[in-house]
């Protein structure tokens, strides 16, 4: 086996480059995974632009599909050569946060076991997946075996996009017969729309400004789409719901405008389920919030991880409930990842997601 | 029976006066209740000051203890002369909102059955309780019989203060062994502290700036109190929780400062339970919110009403779990209600709550 | 308007006959509904056979589709001539049971407000729907307006079959990616299978012994069906789930055999959601129950009622998520209802549900 | 350090003897714990009597208080010499069962990750705690550091009795103002009563036949106790609740009689929370179950484990919410454990729990 590998590395704001690194050796709880397919996430673009700080020299990426190359000495229950994925969030399994079900806010060995966003390690606090190999920490908690009948691209959205998007519907508590509005129909918003429909919402409304995304929104589950260039989404949703508002509004972009619109279309007693990564303070308008007396809920969710989550998401795909392959609009070799970043970060050519193969 | 009664009436901003009105006649679903004790709420002071608009001529007040004087023609299951209370919020029972458990956002006969704050009728959209008599709408849903062994003052807090305060802990999802911080220890904050303890929180932290309130906070259940004049509550709570933050933070005042502090002391994955009535837009600081990735929940609750809620709250008192009589610091005759407003609205003489008896 | 109407009346065990009765007059909270379509339920057959006792002379039936003929004097928010349905269970809205969300166990005016099965009134404690007219009690709580674009037969299953069947999935807490087994694929079991799929289950397994029902099971949502004549359902389900068992098992028949099988296919920590009406004591085998240490849940649900429930179910149909018209296999005039009973009670000619039109 | 230790070993039905064994060496994920205090559980008596089969030669016991003697090579976040406890149930943290919150039904490395009662390992599938040393598996998931201000005996009930008893109230969903009946007031039933009160129940009814247990029941939280020799508990509870029944009934013995009584005192829509270990099939009487139409829930819970659970329970004790030291009625040296078994298994001398110190 080679000792060095290619990896997409954060050099400085504005520069992620393909470079060489040693192939890492797994510690006792780790697994070394050979990447067969990975992708670029909007968060990686934030990192590229220097908007989200990571250490220089870090390998970027958090969406791995691959094969177990080598298991740590204490890892049981797997064998080398198995096809696996791991979530973008890799909880330890043993922290206090994990043990009370809060897998994403994992404080690891920390004294009290909680750390904001602590479960997000790939491409954030440890080397990520845009490389030929990646170390998966706490492998027994995180490695999910891919069923033979699913291809890499079929499961490529599970680690982040699908897990995050679905969680928007799940944390929102979507129930049979609900009306749900989803603000922004990028990859995560599309999965939120799909998740809302799969949970039984009967009026799923997708909002975006790009025709192709609105058309994909209808394909994955939206009953109605609103182009915000053509109509005011708040007015339109209130009209569609006969003045009642929606049971659940999902924010899937991360801006004041979409957050506020989501609040304004919520029925009294409804839930705003927020998925976006914000970059400014948020404002809650007094009127949209009924001065605090509207029994509103605002819930936020960071991409759920862990192998059981991955198993469930793969079951959804395997059962034919949702096909996310059309979301992969472009394909690149790892050698060409800089071009992939150029395309993806500029949202050129109608790109939704890219597949990167080493 | 007399045909006219005394009532505290909103005349214009700055003026609530005692005047005479006809004693109303119950419609088929109403009950006429003779008030034996009522009180003044902070919300009434907002009305007095013109900060919350109500119709001129409206009788103010929403916390009734009394006796059934006359039942509407379609009301069954009660008899005249029974001692009863009704919640500050009087849900219809039959609206779509009620039927899905959202009693406070009751749209009544409205086409879709939801209306923000629609359950709040007394002293808001219909005549209130600071009078000799009040009409209780949807009486079968709202009249709760007072057990013989409880006095008026023992149950006087049930209609609003105790129901609202407890709901802060309930909506926050307080669990056995939780740490809970409650911001402001006025009547509602005190009941939130008591509620958190009664639900099993093991570290209840009451924050206020008035010594007497802090002492009452300890009396009703706080394990620790923080005088914000003496220490920064956020720093102190983070120190007390070893850097973890609290599981649930309850906002019981309605200001940007307390809202923000509540968010800052929340552990990742924790719940901010908001009870305050805000008068300005709210700001969510990006850092305190982990940019939307902290699995935080912000929940708001309007005082739960209905006779089953009242029954439960009276059971808490009857079982000796909580004694709220010490909260009644001053007593007035209805004839002197203008003086009571003067005292209460200026928070003079250490007033917490006043009892008003016609 | 005529003063007398035709109605299917329970005379004695073995005899339900069509007879004449006075058209009733609505009390203040009632509505008189002119029936346009109704149906016969398995429960009605229990009544016919004398297995479930009701008063002699009672009109049978609890699944009304019709038009408001006359409103009680205190009923607001409706107008005569509106097309409406009401649930099989007609909660009052104002009892303590209703106010804590337990709509089906409604004690009405009773002193504590709870009564086992108290919400079931039509054709049980008051005259039912197999007639030209029916009084709907607590009309404001129960009348749900039918959207113009839905036919009678499209909504005929909402009052009972669909509400009950869906509640099997809802009370079972079906989640995205769950595996669910449904024992018996009669009308309720079919709706349970459909409900499980609509809530996101990815492996829905329908069990029955009749080919036509298994084929309809696949049509409404089952991924896999098991004919219990061809294979042992417990063994087959354990094989299909790789030895794990299902997350949720729904019992939709009401026998010891199906109850026990449902328990045996449950994974540790799973939920048995029981819909059946049992006629004997039930036995929980020690091994299937892990001696009480398996974190199992057994939940039972009586058909949820109330207008908000009906609204939601009609939304499911309107959104095209489920088409229950194929479940109506036979049609009869009310005049021929005795023949309908004969067919239905003997399960002749592949009958699933009959539509009865006055 | 010595290489051999004393341990209470299951030899054959009827014989648990103190013998010598090698002190085990920790694997990479284990910790070797030196026991300072342990106890005997009712389950150990079942093992002694041969009613629950374990391997011959196994060390018995599952309630450890002690000191970390040696950490496995992959264990981080602890140091040798720390005072710790571990739960009776030692979840792995990484199984699929754990990752969906079902910690007690842990299938470890098994292919699907679930195994009925799989989390119970101490004194069941691996050597237990009635010894000088014990290996704690998956140490990072299970070791909870004991606060300095708590003694061994103060935390001795946390691993099993208190965790199990409290879970009876938690799984029952006890709410503020609930009425709760607890059947049997042995150690677990006493903790269930205490847990119900701590969660806000306002009528806690403890049922037993032994005066000392009834008196301790009142001491830990019961409002009312019923001696089943003096009155029929079902009749008495229905009288006390005015015919309504209790919101939650907790079974804490494991017999048909208590299970059935718990069902009979349940209000419609109530929850039977079962903690007992049964030794025969259970019967659900048709009438007590409303033929399956009473919206009843039956939930079972196996002692929750993991370090976060232990931390919470210790917080309850530390906050002074509950004092379980009086439950330790007898003390023995490990050398005398056979005498302790003799006393405990025959329930002589009013024994509740014994403390065993090596």
pLDDT of A182-219, one tens digit each?
Answer: 999 999 999 999 999 999 999 999 999 999 999 999 99
Does the pLDDT value for residue D1 go beyond 70?
Answer: no
Average of per-residue pLDDT values in chain D: 97
Task: Identify the pLDDT of residue A301.
Answer: 98
Q: Report the distance separating Cα A237 and Cα A228, nearest Å.
A: 11
Distance from CA of B163 to the nearest CA of D (A): 11
Residue of D nearest to B177 (CA): D312
Decide if B254 contacts B278 (C-beta within 8 A): yes
Report whether pLDDT(D54) > 90: yes
Say how far apart CA C255 and CA B343 lie, in whole Å: 68
Shortest CA distance to B255 belongs to which of B233, B283, B288, B234? B283
A128 pLDDT higher than 80: yes
pLDDT in tens, B262-311: 999 999 999 999 999 999 999 999 999 999 999 999 999 999 999 999 99
D321 vs B200: CB contact, 8 Å cut-off? yes
- Structure token digits, residue A208: 């975006």
A94–D141 CB contact, under 8 Å: yes
Which backbone phi and psi does C89 adopt, to 5 degrees? -95, 125
Q: How far apart are CA D151 and CA D65, in angstroms?
A: 10
Count how many Cα atoms sit within 13 Å of the Cα of residue A274 in the half-sphere of its side chain. Answer: 28
What's the gap in Å between the CA of D40 and the closest CA on chain C?
19
What is the band of C110 on the pLDDT scale with cuts at 50, 70, 90?
Answer: confident
User: ipTM surpassing 0.85, yes or no?
Assistant: yes
Given a cut of 90, is residue C36 above it in pLDDT?
yes
Work out the angle between the directed axes of helices B187-198 and B163-171 (0-180°, nearest 10). 50
Q: Is B295 helix (H, G, I), strand (E, B) or coil?
A: coil
D140 vs A94, A101, A306: nearest CB? A94
Select from A115, A245, A292 the Cβ nearest to the Cβ of B274: A292
**Is C1 a residue whose pLDDT tops 80?**
no
Partners of D4 in beta bridges? D22
Q: How confident is the model at residue D110 (pLDDT cuts 50, 70, 90)?
A: confident
Q: What Å distances lie between residue B297 and A256, B268, B281, CA to CA?
A: 18, 10, 18
Confidence of residue C111 (pLDDT cuts 50, 70, 90): confident
Residue with tokens 């609750």, as numbered in its chain: B301
Is A118:A303 a contact under the CB 8 Å cutoff?
no
Are A233 and A207 in contact, with CB atoms under 8 Å apart?
A: yes
Q: Could you say which residues from 295 to 324 on chain D have a Cβ atom under 8 Å away from some Cβ of chain A?
A: 306-309, 311
How far is A168 from A178, CA to CA, in rounded Å? 14
Alpha-carbon gap, residue B324 to B160, rounded angstroms: 13
DSSP string, B55-84: -TTPBP----EEEEEEE-TT--S--TT-EE
Tell me the pLDDT tens digit for each residue of D130-182: 999 999 999 999 999 999 999 999 999 999 999 999 999 999 999 999 999 99
Q: How confident is the model at residue C314 (pLDDT cuts 50, 70, 90)?
A: very high
Set of chain B residues whose Cβ sits within 8 Å of the Cβ of C108:
77
Cβ separation of D77 and A101 shorter than 8 Å?
no
**What local confidence, expressed as pLDDT, does residue D2 receive?**
86
| pLDDT beyond 90 at C115 | yes
Question: Interior CA angle at C30 toward C28 and C34, to 5°?
Answer: 135
List, in order, residues 6 or more apart from C149 with CB less than 8 Å away: C318
Contacting subunits of C (3+ beta carbon pairs below 8 A): A, B, D
- pLDDT digit string (tens) for C65-83? 999 999 999 999 999 999 9
Q: How far does the CA of residue B174 sit from the closest CA of chain D (Å)? A: 9
B120, B121, B122, B125: CA torsion to nearest 10: 130
Q: How far is B258 from chain A (nearest CA, A)?
A: 13
- Chain D from 12 to 71: CB within 8 A of any B CB: none
Average pLDDT over chain A, rounded to an integer:
97
Which stretches of chain B drop beneath a pLDDT of 70? Answer: 1
In contact, D249 and D263? CB cutoff 8 Å: yes
Residue D62 to residue D83: CA distance in whole angstroms: 17
Q: Give CA–CA dist C165/C157, Å, rounded.
A: 10
**CA dist., res. C318 & res. B278, Å (int):** 40
| pLDDT above 80 (res A1) | no
pLDDT of residue A2: 86
Would you call D94 and A140 a contact, using CB atoms and an 8 Å cutoff? yes
Alpha helices in chain C (DSSP H): 42-48, 96-99, 139-142, 152-155, 163-171, 187-198, 211-220, 233-240, 256-264, 307-318, 337-345
State how far the alpha carbon of D184 is from the alpha carbons of A12, A180, B310, D171, in Å: 67, 48, 31, 18
Domain annotation for chain A: domains and CATH numbers: 4-87+122-156+324-357 (3.90.180.10), 162-300 (3.40.50.720)
Residue C41 has pLDDT above 80, yes or no: yes
C172-231 pLDDT, tens per residue? Answer: 999 999 999 999 999 999 999 999 999 999 999 999 999 999 999 999 999 999 999 999
List pLDDT tens digits, range A284-329: 999 999 999 999 999 999 999 999 999 999 999 999 999 999 999 9
The pLDDT score that the predictor gives to residue B1 is: 67
Please tell me the predicted confidence (pLDDT) of residue C2.
86
Mutate to test the interface with C, among B26, B77, B94 (most CBs of C within 10 A): B94
Which DSSP symbol is given to A348?
Answer: -
CB within 8 Å of A231: residues ≥ 6 apart: none
Give the closest-approach CA distance of D171 to chain C in angstroms.
Answer: 10
Residues in B closer than 8 angstroms to D174, CB to CB, are none
pLDDT of residue B111: 82
Of B116, B269, B292, the CB nearest to A105: B269
As a whole number of angstroms, the distance between CA A278 and CA A255 comes to 6
Token pair of A278 as six digits: 């914000």
| Among the partner residues D105, D267, D292, nearest to C295 by beta-carbon distance | D105
CA dihedral A63, A64, A65, A71 (to 10 degrees): -160
- Quote the CA–CA distance of D225 and D182 in Å, as a whole number: 9
pLDDT score recorded for residue B265: 98
Q: What is the pTM of this model?
A: 0.98
pLDDT in tens, C233-286: 999 999 999 999 999 999 999 999 999 999 999 999 999 999 999 999 999 999
Average pLDDT, chain C: 97
Encode pLDDT of D331-353 as tens digits.
Answer: 999 999 999 999 999 999 999 99
Contact present, B221 and B326 (Cβ < 8 Å): no
Q: What is the pLDDT of residues D258-282, one digit of tens each?
A: 999 999 999 999 999 999 999 999 9
Which residues, 6 or more positions from C46, have their beta carbon under 8 angstroms from its beta carbon? C52, C277
SS (H, E, C) C180-230: EEEECCCHHHHHHHHHHHHCCCCEEEEEECCHHHHHHHHHHCCCEEEECCC
């Amino acid at each position: 086996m080679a000792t060095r590998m290619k990896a997409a590395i954060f050099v400085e704001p504005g520069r992620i480059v393909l470079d060489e690194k040693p192939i890492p050796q797994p510690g006792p709880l780790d697994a070394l995974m050979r990447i067969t397919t990975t992708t670029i996430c909007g968060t990686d673009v934030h990192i590229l632009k220097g908007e989200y700080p990571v250490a220089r020299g870090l390998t970027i990426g958090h969406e791995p599909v691959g094969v177990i190359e080598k298991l740590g000495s204490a890892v049981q229950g797997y064998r080398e050569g198995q096809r696996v994925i791991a979530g973008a969030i890799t909880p330890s399994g043993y922290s206090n946060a994990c043990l009370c079900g809060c897998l994403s806010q994992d404080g690891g060995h920390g004294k009290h076991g909680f750390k904001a966003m602590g479960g997000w390690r790939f491409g954030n606090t440890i080397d990520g997946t845009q490389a030929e190999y990646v170390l998966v920490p706490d492998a027994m908690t995180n490695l999910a075996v891919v069923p033979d009948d699913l291809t890499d691209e079929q499961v490529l959205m599970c680690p982040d996009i699908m897990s995050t998007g679905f969680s928007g519907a799940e944390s929102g508590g979507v129930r049979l017969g609900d009306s749900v509005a989803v603000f922004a129909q990028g990859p995560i918003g599309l999965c939120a729309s799909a998740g809302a429909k799969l949970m039984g919402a009967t009026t799923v409304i997708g909002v975006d400004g790009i025709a192709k995304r609105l058309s994909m929104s209808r394909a994955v589950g939206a009953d109605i789409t609103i182009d915000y260039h053509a109509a005011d989404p708040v007015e339109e949703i209130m009209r569609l719901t006969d003045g009642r508002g929606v049971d659940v509004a999902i924010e899937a972009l991360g801006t004041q405008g979409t957050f506020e619109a989501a609040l304004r279309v919520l029925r009294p007693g409804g839930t705003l389920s927020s998925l976006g990564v914000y970059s400014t303070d948020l404002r809650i308008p007094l009127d949209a919030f009924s001065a605090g007396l509207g029994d509103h809920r605002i819930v936020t969710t960071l991409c759920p991880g862990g192998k059981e989550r991955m198993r469930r998401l793969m079951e959804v795909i395997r059962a034919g409930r949702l096909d996310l392959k059309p979301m992969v609009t472009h394909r690149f070799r790892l050698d060409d990842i800089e071009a992939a970043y150029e395309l993806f970060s500029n949202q050129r050519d109608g790109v939704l997601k890219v597949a990167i193969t080493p």
